[in-house]
Amino acid sequence: MLSTDQGHARPDLAKSHALNTCPPDPVSKTIAARCSNCALRQICMPSDLSAGDLVKLDTIISSSRAVKRGEALYRAGDPFQSIYAVRAGSFKTVVIHRDGREQVTGFHIPGEPLGMDGISIEIHTCDAIALEDSSICIIPFHLLELLCRELKVMQHHVHKMMSGEIVRESGLMMMLGNMSADERVAAFLLNISTRLAVRGYSPLEFNLRMTRDEMGSYLGMTLETVSRMFSKFQKQRLIEAQGKKIRILDIDGLKLV
Amino acid sequence: MLSTDQGHARPDLAKSHALNTCPPDPVSKTIAARCSNCALRQICMPSDLSAGDLVKLDTIISSSRAVKRGEALYRAGDPFQSIYAVRAGSFKTVVIHRDGREQVTGFHIPGEPLGMDGISIEIHTCDAIALEDSSICIIPFHLLELLCRELKVMQHHVHKMMSGEIVRESGLMMMLGNMSADERVAAFLLNISTRLAVRGYSPLEFNLRMTRDEMGSYLGMTLETVSRMFSKFQKQRLIEAQGKKIRILDIDGLKLV
DNA sequence: CGCTGGATTGACTTGCGTCAACATACGTGG
DNA sequence: CCACGTATGTTGACGCAAGTCAATCCAGCG
């Protein structure tokens, strides 16, 4: 979804434009999907795993997959087998109404989980689409469950991740239910900003990889309204925006919108 | 949230107005909280537990609690220790914005889980308030995790319940993001109707225990708009509504709204 | 029987959607 | 590497769905 100046393109995905990837980590660039070597491990896995635990982890998460911009990692209706972690790039998840209307339910950046909607009825309930050329780790869910029965810390971590999704969504509902268009856009920018900060990227300058339309769908408004809010914030000197490139000028001001 | 003609008041909660309770089950009325005896077990627990598994379950879920109308089962900020299952009655969950605005994020009827928002950071992120005099089963989460490490079927069930919450919320987001007021109210009534049907209640006639205001908050609209939609549906002969008492006259018509 | 909180209905206002014209960025093939 | 065509973004004019404010009604309860 976003790229920052600190982003380093992975060799296998190199393009003219910067990509989101693991923060600098010379080792992980060249080695196949291995949690034990991954710079994102602190983000998507429990922090207190022993060396032995890591070996076990490596045996279940052995594969990764590249997904090209616009391609689906999975689609609603697909049988559920694995959950995923974004390694590089970004995704949106969308649910599609029978009448064809679609709603973006989330954006996912490196280190964030994907696919947990499918656990419930063992069928995915949304599409996960890459917003740019991306790569993900594949975590076969039955193996993860096996590991969770063995490792308390892993079990706990998985539960936290799932609960985190629940909390994330109820925050979004709050936004969709109660907030005006300007408040939503401000809250969205601040949310992106903190998520980037957690991952060590600059929270004040980033690229939004999704279109205004996708942002609008996520925020429950039209693309025109999104655009107007960006213009308005720019006039108020809260941000500088040229297309997808965003710079936050007055973060406290944004919080007061 | 709802009561139906089939509802039977529990002795300890008897009031002049009907309550939601377990469907008829003479045994469970008199016996303390025991999964092995609970008529709702099919709904909130895995269906294929052995007798031995049930004994284990009974050891961890030994307590229940009554919550009076308007009281909080837990509040945002409370430390998280247990998840809950609604035994009788109904609850709303609300998140409160710093500026005081509140958003209802869900309604919970018997057999449905409560409190899973707290797992993530071990602090509850919303308030759970009883809409009527209610009772819940208390499931200490660390014991549940213990049991999940032992019983694969229980582990799987817990994961499904959590994922189910994620799916439920993304459906709501769809509603808040894309649908018009009449569509939302229709979808809400249909949702309630199916949830009642699953539990063996009449899906066509029920009492909504929440106020128009709470419904509106949940649906992202004002109480006046909710009221207008009810009047409109009534004029169209889709429903009959007198206050909280609802009768669905034309369920297919409602689906087309 | 009157009080109180909730529900309904109407009149008016407004934020945002819709439609439309135009501008800019992007990527694709010559 | 440039040029063109398509996709995306911006801005304005206008209308409507839903919010706001207010009066009234109704039901349940002391």
Give the tens place of pLDDT for each residue, B201-244: 899 999 999 999 999 999 999 999 999 999 999 999 999 999 99
- State residue A14's pLDDT score: 34
Extents of the domains making up chain A: 11-151, 179-256
Q: Is B149 exposed, middle or buried (0-12, 13-18, 19+ CB in 10 A)?
A: middle
Contact status, residue B245 vs residue B3, Cβ threshold 8 Å: no
Distance from CA of B116 to the nearest CA of A (A): 6
Residue B142 pLDDT exceeds 80 = yes
Burial class from Cβ neighbours inside 10 Å (0-12, 13-18, 19+) for residue B65 reads middle
B229 contacts: CB under 8 Å, gap ≥ 6: B181, B182, B185
Tokens standing for residue B197: 């049907």
Percent of the residues in chain B that have a pLDDT greater than 90, as a whole number: 69
Fold topology of B11-151: Jelly Rolls (2.60.120)
How would residue B32 be classed by pLDDT, with cut points 50, 70 and 90? low
> What are the chain B neighbours of A120 within 8 Å (beta carbons)?
160-161, 163-164, 166-167
Provide, in whole angstroms, the distance separating residue B110's CA from nucleotide D30's C1': 31
Within this chain, domains A11-151 and A179-256 share the same CATH topology? no
Q: Which residues on chain B are in Cβ contact (under 8 Å) with A152?
A: 145, 149
Task: Enumerate the β-bridge partners of residue A84.
Answer: A114, A138
Contacts of B27 (CB under 8 A, 6+ apart): B37
Q: What is the gyration radius of the CA atoms in chain A, in angstroms?
A: 18
Could you say which of A156, A162, A220 has the minimum Cβ distance to residue B163? A162
Using an 8 Å CB-CB cutoff, list chain A residues near B156.
145
| Mean pLDDT per 10-residue section of chain A, whose length is 257 residues | 43 35 38 78 86 89 89 96 94 89 92 94 96 94 95 94 92 90 96 91 94 96 97 96 94 94
| Angstrom distance (rounded) from CA B193 to CA B205 | 8
Tell me how far the alpha carbon of residue B62 is from its chain's centroid: 21
Q: Any idea which residue has 């993860």 for tokens?
A: A144
User: Can you give the pLDDT at residue A27?
Assistant: 35
Nucleotide C17's nearest residue (CA vs C1') is A222
**For residue range B36-83, what is the model confidence (pLDDT) as tens digits?**
888 888 888 888 889 999 998 888 887 899 999 999 999 999 999 999
Helix (H, G, I), strand (E, B), or coil: what is residue B95?
Answer: strand
User: Mean pLDDT over residues B2-8, rounded?
Assistant: 44
Determine whether the interchain pair B120/A164 forms a contact, defined as Cβ–Cβ distance below 8 Å.
Answer: yes
Q: What is the pLDDT of residue B164?
A: 93
The residue among A162, A168, A180, A215 with the most chain B CBs within 10 A of its CB, best to mutate, is A162
Confidence of residue B2 (pLDDT cuts 50, 70, 90): low
pLDDT at A2: 53
The yes or no reply on domain B179-256 and CATH 1.20.1290.10 is no
Residue A25's pLDDT is 40
pLDDT at B132: 93
Smallest CA–CA distance from A177 into chain B, residue: B220
What distance in Å separates the CA atoms of residue B80 and residue B82, rounded to the nearest whole number?
A: 6
Give how far B69 is from chain A: nearest CA, Å.
24
Q: Are A110 and A21 in contact (CB under 8 A)?
A: yes
Task: Provide the H-helix boundaries in chain B.
Answer: 26-30, 41-44, 51-60, 141-150, 152-178, 181-198, 212-219, 223-235, 251-256
Q: Which nucleotide is nearest to A242 (CA to C1')?
A: D9
Between A98 and B167, where is the model more confident? B167
**What is the mean predicted confidence (pLDDT) over B148-154?**
94
Q: d(Cα A189, Cα B57) in Å, to the nearest integer?
A: 45
pLDDT of residue A87: 92
